[in-house]
C-alpha cells in the first residue's frame, strides 16, 4: 500500500486530489496539509511514501518545504504540483531533487501513475511541462562538460542521452536493442557515477552539460563506439 500525504492550501483541490487517488487500488491518503509548515509537520509525523505538494503555499512555500524534507535522513518521494507559471521555482525544484512534477490540469490517470512511478523509486515530469522547463533551464547558461562525464562508458552516455530526452526504460531498451533489466543497471550506474539522486536530476545534468540540447527530438538509434 502506498501511503500518501496531500499538501495544498485550497481545500477543494485537496478534496479533489483525494477523491482521484482513492479510486486507485493500492494508494491510501494518510494525511493532508494546508501550508508548507503543516506539510513538514504532517510528513515527519506520518512518514508517508509519497508527498503530493503544491509549489505555491502560504507561510512556507512548497519548494522550501521540499528542500527541508529532502535534507531529512529518510525523506519521502515528493511530487510537486504546479500551475506552471513559476519557471524559476521549477528549475530550483529539479536541482533540489524532487521526484516529479505534475500540472494541476493533468488527467486523473496521470496523477495516479505519477504516485505509483515515484513510489517505485523512479521520477516523472509531466510531458506537458518537460519541454518548457528544460528549455528555459538550459537557456540560462552555456553548456559545459563536467569532468564526471569521463567516468561514463559510451553505453552509459548513450543511456543518459536517451533518458534526458524523456524516454522510458522500455523505450531506451528498444533504441539500444538491449534488455530492460540491462537499461536499469546502466541507469543506476549513471546515477551513482554522477552522484545524482534520480532521473530528474539526470535530465538537468544532461542539459547543463550539453549532452542534449533543447529542441532535440531525433530518435535515431544510438550505438556505443
Q: What DSSP assignment string belongs to 129-146?
A: HHHHHHHHHHTTS-----
Per-residue model confidence (pLDDT) at position 127: 64
Q: For domain 2-138, give the CATH number.
A: 3.40.50.2300
Q: Tell me the residue length of the chain.
A: 225
CATH topology agreement for domains 2-138 and 147-208: no
* Nearest to 66, CA basis, from 87, 50, 46: 50
d(CA 52, CA 148): 32
Burial class (CB in 10 A: 0-12, 13-18, 19+), 6: buried
Quote the crossing angle between the two packed helices 36-46 and 62-70, to the nearest 10°.
30
Structural domain spans, the chain: 2-138, 147-208
Per-residue model confidence (pLDDT) at position 217: 43
* Nearest to 60, CA basis, from 73, 41, 47: 41
Q: Which residues pair with 31 in a beta bridge?
A: 5
Owner of C-alpha cell 544532461: 206
* Nearest to 79, CA basis, from 187, 184, 200: 200
Per-residue model confidence (pLDDT) at position 225: 32
User: In order along the chain (225 residues), what is the average pLDDT of each group of 10 residues?
Assistant: 97 95 95 97 98 92 92 94 68 77 86 91 70 60 76 96 83 93 94 86 81 54 37
d(CA 184, CA 165): 16
Q: For domain 147-208, give the CATH number.
A: 1.10.10.10
Q: Which residues pair with 5 in a beta bridge?
A: 31, 51
d(CA 187, CA 159): 7
* Nearest to 136, CA basis, from 199, 64, 208, 196: 208
Amino acid at each position: 500500500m502506498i501511503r500518501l500525504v496531500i499538501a495544498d492550501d485550497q481545500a477543494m483541490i485537496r478534496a479533489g486530489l483525494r477523491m482521484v487517488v482513492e479510486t486507485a487500488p493500492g494508494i491510501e491518503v494518510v494525511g493532508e496539509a494546508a501550508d508548507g509548515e503543516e506539510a513538514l509537520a504532517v510528513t515527519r509525523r506520518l512518514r508517508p511514501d509519497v508527498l503530493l505538494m503544491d509549489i505555491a503555499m502560504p507561510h512556507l512555500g512548497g519548494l522550501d518545504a521540499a528542500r527541508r524534507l529532502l535534507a531529512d535522513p529518510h525523506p519521502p518521494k515528493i511530487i510537486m504540483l504546479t500551475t506552471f507559471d513559476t519557471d524559476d521555482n521549477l528549475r530550483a525544484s529539479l536541482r533540489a531533487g524532487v521526484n516529479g512534477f505534475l500540472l494541476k490540469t493533468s488527467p486523473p490517470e496521470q496523477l495516479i501513475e505519477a504516485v505509483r512511478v515515484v513510489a517505485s523509486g523512479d521520477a516523472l515530469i509531466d510531458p506537458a511541462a518537460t519541454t518548457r522547463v528544460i528549455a528555459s533551464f538550459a537557456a540560462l547558461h552555456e553548456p559545459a562538460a563536467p569532468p564526471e562525464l569521463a567516468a561514463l562508458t559510451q553505453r552509459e552516455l548513450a543511456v543518459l542521452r536517451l533518458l534526458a530526452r524523456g524516454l522510458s526504460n522500455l523505450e531506451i531498451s528498444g533504441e539500444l536493442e538491449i534488455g530492460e533489466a540491462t537499461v536499469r543497471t546502466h541507469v543506476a550506474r549513471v546515477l551513482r557515477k554522477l552522484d545524482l539522486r534520480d532521473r530528474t536530476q539526470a535530465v538537468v545534468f544532461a542539459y547543463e552539460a550539453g549532452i542534449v540540447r533543447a529542441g532535440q527530438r531525433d530518435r535515431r538509434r544510438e550505438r556505443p563506439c
